Amino acid sequence: MTPRTPDPSRRSERSRQAILTAAAELTTELGYAKLTIEAIAARAGVGKQTIYRWWPSKGAVVFDALLATNEDEAGSLSLPDTGDLAADLRVVVRGTAEEMSTPFYDQAGRALTAEVLTDRTLLGEYRERLLGPLLEVTRERLRSARAAGQVAEDADLDLAVELLYGPMYYRWLHRLGPLDQAYADGLVEQVVRALRP
């Protein structure tokens, strides 16, 4: 018998939101290691089978909860484009640093970092639904800045994106210091300086 593929269109949006909220709250309260599908279901007021119908694993539920914190009201990632590259990147990097400093992200992000090392399906989802789109909208903002003469014509935009996000991730992962506004602003200043024509 072939397993049925979950049909996202059959999801109750209210149940989905309750499950993601419960996953976020419980991850923060208990930590990822102690989190269970049963606990998420009980907190969300749904049956355990409802969660398994929509998500293949605990990691997938927590990933969706994390992803939901990165979406705007339209359900997509976006970067501002005011014409001032440094100001726009400061908004994004400050927001990212602030989010990475939350108890939920600290628990969920670290757990998912470990999960994607062994779960290739989750890694694919992470790249397709979060990392890839984030890197692309950032590259697009840099393309716009290059067209406006704010970024060198020969700048490697893939490398530039890694220069922007890589140090934050490294600092967070290894707990080398706070991800505060001063750090975010300093990082943006260095990246923008390196990209200038």
User: 140 near 185, Cβ under 8 Å?
Assistant: no
Give the closest residue to 16 by CA, choosing from 83, 68, 79, 56: 68
Task: Give the sign of the dihedral formed by CA 41, CA 120, CA 160, CA 168.
Answer: positive
Q: Per-residue pLDDT averaged across 22-48, rounded?
A: 93
pLDDT at position 3 over 50: no
107/7: higher pLDDT: 107
Angstrom distance (rounded) from CA 182 to CA 179? 8
pLDDT at position 74 over 70: no
Q: What is the pLDDT of residues 106-136, one digit of tens each?
A: 888 898 888 888 889 989 988 998 889 889 9
Q: Model pTM?
A: 0.78
- DSSP assignment of 146-180: HHTTSS-TT--HHHHHHHHHHHHHHHHHTT-S---
